[in-house]
Amino acid sequence: MIVSEFAARSKLVLQKIPRDVLIVAILFFSSSASFGLGILAGRDIGQGSGFSITEIPLTASPQGGPSAAAVPAAIPAGGQVVASKSGSKYHLPWCSGAQAIKEENKVWFASREAAEAAGYEPAANCKGL
């Protein structure tokens, strides 16, 4: 079959289909194809594989200071309050005490309550605590 024969045969078939049905079919197939392509594009971008929130258990030592288990159980940099691994006070990130802590010794907490649950106390020289 030659291309011109295929085109002529297709034209005859399309003329037999009512125009309204043809328009509805074209709309249906184009919208289905668009939806499918959107799903595939979302998978390529990585939708659903972003970040996840997990609960971090925090425990305090019996002496009242920060326990060894609580120190690594903090969140990564960017929390609301920061403390030192070897200290007993927590600070707001912009306080001078927080800026004096070396980066490798910083322990970040999502909230003041989380820091206190880990055995830390608010720093007296940090206004706002």
Write down the pTM of the prediction.
0.41
Q: Which residues on neighbouring strands pair with residue 82, listed in sequence order?
A: 91, 108
**Runs of H (alpha helix) within the chain:** 3-16, 19-45, 96-99, 112-117
Identify the pLDDT of residue 127.
80
pLDDT in tens, 84-122: 999 999 998 888 888 899 989 999 998 899 999 999 999
pLDDT in tens, 39-84: 887 776 654 555 555 666 655 555 555 544 444 444 555 578 899 9
Distance of CA 77 to the CA centre of its chain: 15
d(C-alpha 68, C-alpha 13), whole Å: 78
Distance of CA 100 to the CA centre of its chain: 30
Whether the CB-CB separation of 79 and 110 falls below 8 Å is answered with: yes
